[in-house]
Amino acid sequence: MSSAYKASISSLPGKADRVSGWNRMRRLLSHAGKPDRPGLYIARRCRYFWDTVPMLARDAKRIEDVDTTGLGHGADAIRYGCLRQDWAPELKFVREG
């Protein structure tokens, strides 16, 4: 009987409050490089982010939000991640047998 263990990462649905997510994402991006604060770092090799996120337009009716008709999939994924309360993955050890 095998006593190997494997780790699994669980995820939760993102919060629906878009504006809070954009605010947190902006704050984390602005804190990148500050040694006393957590920051969000985006690699130069992440072409989809750099090709789309800086060009996102603001929503005409709700200026604190972005226009949802644009290519915002990458930005939405990062926004959901920024809204997570616990950034460390939850590890579960499962005994295989």
pLDDT in tens, 2-36: 444 455 555 555 556 788 888 988 899 999 898 88
Split into its structural domains, the chain has a count of 1
Please answer whether residues 82 and 40 qualify as being in contact, where contact means their C-beta atoms are separated by less than 8 angstroms: yes
Report the C-alpha gap between 37 and 52 in whole angstroms.
Answer: 26
pTM of the prediction? 0.66
Phi and psi for 85 in degrees, rounded to 5?
Answer: -80, -35
Of 84 and 45, the structure prediction assigns the larger pLDDT to: 45
> Which range marks the domain in which residue 36 is found?
5-95
For helices 73-83 and 18-31, what crossing angle results, to 10°? Answer: 80
Confidence of residue 47 (pLDDT cuts 50, 70, 90): very high
